[in-house]
Amino acid sequence: MAVTDLIPGWAEAKLGLSIVLAVVILAGVGFGVYKGYSLYEHYQQLEADNAQLVINNATLKSNVTTLEGANATDAQTIEGLKADHAAAEKVVGELAKQAEQNRQALAATQATLDKLAKDPKNNGVVAPDLRETIRSIQGASK
């Protein structure tokens, strides 16, 4: 004789506990199936996201390669522009020297013409032409 035989209603309680235990087990199995399916859906979404990331990575690598090429082209263009700028500065410097030499030559010619205009020997038929030449030189030097 077992101790449980002495408890009144134990057989009915045992049946009730068995039913509750069966319900708990079925609920646990159901919950496990539900969680397993949720994990499977989550795994499928991760697979899709990973595939999209692989595509995006390939696109980014292509864009980086394109930008590196453009950057190299821009660097070459900048170096070319720097060389052109240096050449232009050299030419401007030479033109400034030449302009200064031209101003000095005009000033010397002007001085000579002024000297000739003041000389009484140059007052005659040539004098109007000389004055016109002086005026044209003065106009050009301004």
- Distance from C-alpha of 134 to C-alpha of 142, rounded to nearest angstrom: 13
- Number of residues written out for the chain: 142
* Per-residue pLDDT tens digits for 87-122: 999 999 999 999 999 899 888 888 887 787 777 666
DSSP helix, strand, coil percent of the chain (3-state; round to 5): 90, 0, 10
3-state secondary structure at position 126: coil
**End-to-end CA separation in angstroms for the chain:** 139
Threshold 0.85, pTM exceeds = no
**What number of CA atoms fall less than 13 Å from residue 8's CA on the CB side?**
0
